[in-house]
Amino acid sequence: MKKPLIIILVILLIDQSLKIWIKTHMFIGQEIRVMGDWFILHFTENNGMAFGIELAGESGKLILSIFRFIAIVLIAFYLARISREKVHPGLVISISLIFAGALGNLIDSAFYGLIFSESAYYHPAQLFPEGGGYSTFLHGKVVDMFYFPIIKGHYPAWFPIWGSEEFIFFRPVFNVADSAITIGVFTLILFQRRLFPRKSDHGTNEIVSLP
């Protein structure tokens, strides 16, 4: 169980440290160009899931936060079980990444509304403000900051629905927690046959190593 804990703690430390710095040093919409026009720190917040996907209204926000909590509990039980079994290390690492990412965003949703003042378009937020936070438990906003507009252009005029509109790849703004979830999920999908144990001809579990 030692390796999963290290992965989770490192992801959470990086994720929360960067979010707290962004929240207390930048205002909404502010940008810091790290590498030209293709790697930008762009401060934004969202009420929903990874990459800015949202559920409408306060009830949607509450439902999403509760769903996150239930998912994290289930993932924690699964991670604890596979950590005690003879499974491929890549499976443990992938689930640890997903767990850490989900927990990182849940911390935002659960506590940021309680410990931060509202971020605005003209000044950064304050940590532990005198008058209390901007929202209630489970109603905080998730902090995003990574923006990679690598390719910019316009759709052809004949293109359905989006004809002549601006095209940007990659448009969504995300955070470290989103990245951890995405890496973990894609690893499970791409290497599922190697990460999950399978029955051999003799009925025993066979672990196939990554190349």
Active site residues: 144, 178
Q: What is the DSSP string of the chain?
A: -HHHHHHHHHHHHHHHHHHHHHHHH--TT-EEEEETTTEEEEEEEESSSGGG---SHHHHHHHHHHHHHHHHHHHHHHHHHHHHS---HHHHHHHHHHHHHHHHHHHIIIIIHHHBPPP-SSS---BS-TT--SS-TT-PPEEEEEE---EEEE--TTSTTTTT-EEEET---B-HHHHHHHHHHHHHHHTHHHHS-EE-TTSSEEPPPP-
Query: Which residues are within 8 A (CB) of 75 and not within 5 positions of it... i.e. 6 or more apart?
Result: 95, 98, 99, 102
Contact 174, 50 (CB under 8 A): yes
